[in-house]
Amino acid sequence: MLKFQYVKKMIFLVLLIVMICSVCTAETATNTTPEPYTKNEFPMWAKDLRRTEIISFGSLPFVTLGVTIGFGSYKYATGELASFPNPFNKSSATYTTDEQMKIIELSAVISVGLGLTDFVINSIMRANKENRLKKIQDSKEKVIVTPLTAEDAAALLRRNAAEQPDSDQKQQNADDNKINAAEQDKVE
């Protein structure tokens, strides 16, 4: 008995010394402010997985409500229920345990389907965007933009005015007058 108490005291002292030493040697952080995530900190697959998870779990309550109302409508339409069931009534014994499990299972399947659909759509859109960007970068033709002089712009407007129907002629004439006035101000 005396030996047992001695062993207990020794274990207590050893644990106390270890705890004190660990606290003394622990490094104290000088800055505890968290740093915001950088743009490339997570790989794209992790972002896609997280988005799919958020959409799946986020849509679950709304899908469950829709499935519950749909199932209640079906039971009401087939005559199994005398009145339309209230999906928010907790005291109602409208659905059996098996029916409740079917509602939850169907809701989970639909929610996961929504998340996967969003994942597929975003993957296709990203691939199309990357392909278009690659085509532009690999293109041999370079687009060169040259500014028009006032005279070239006026000639272009006149040529376009000749091709337009008469209903737009008044607007075109007003535009030509503005351009001519601007050209005269520039010359003076």
Quick one: tokens of 58?
A: 């986020």
Q: Are residues 80 and 157 in the same domain?
A: no
Q: Which of 93-97, 115-119, 179-183 has the highest mean pLDDT?
A: 115-119
Q: Are residues 126 and 161 in the same domain?
A: no
| Beta strands per DSSP E along 23-162 | none
Q: Are residues 70 and 107 in the same domain?
A: yes
Which long-range contacts link 82-86 to residues 24+ away (Cβ below 8 Å)?
A: none
Three-state DSSP at 176 gives helix
Range of the domain at 160: 150-187
Q: Are residues 77 and 157 in the same domain?
A: no
Q: Are residues 105 and 166 in the same domain?
A: no
Q: Are residues 179 and 133 in the same domain?
A: no
Q: Are residues 48 and 131 in the same domain?
A: yes
Q: Are residues 173 and 119 in the same domain?
A: no
Residues with Cβ within 8 Å of 55's Cβ and at least 6 positions away in sequence, in order, are 114, 115, 118
The answer, yes or no, to whether residue 114 has pLDDT greater than 70, is yes
**pTM, whole model, 2 decimals?**
0.55
pLDDT band for position 13 (cuts 50, 70, 90): confident
Q: Where are the alpha helices (DSSP H) in 36-96?
A: 44-77
Q: Are residues 134 and 179 in the same domain?
A: no
Is 167 a domain residue?
yes
d(CA 25, CA 22): 5
d(CA 66, CA 87): 10
Is 80 a domain residue?
yes
Is 68 a domain residue?
yes
Read off the pLDDT of residues 126-174 as tens digits, 9 standing for 90 and up: 999 999 988 888 877 777 777 888 888 888 888 887 776 555 556 666 6
The answer, yes or no, to whether residue 107 has pLDDT greater than 90, is yes
| pLDDT attached to residue 82 | 79
CA-closest candidate to residue 183, choices 149, 158, 156, 146: 149
Read off the pLDDT of residues 47-87 as tens digits, 9 standing for 90 and up: 999 999 999 999 999 999 999 999 988 988 998 887 888 77
Mean of the pLDDT values across residues 33-49?
A: 88
Is 175 a domain residue?
yes
Is 113 a domain residue?
yes
CB 179 within 8 A of CB 155: no
Count structural domains, the chain: 2
Is 3 a domain residue?
no
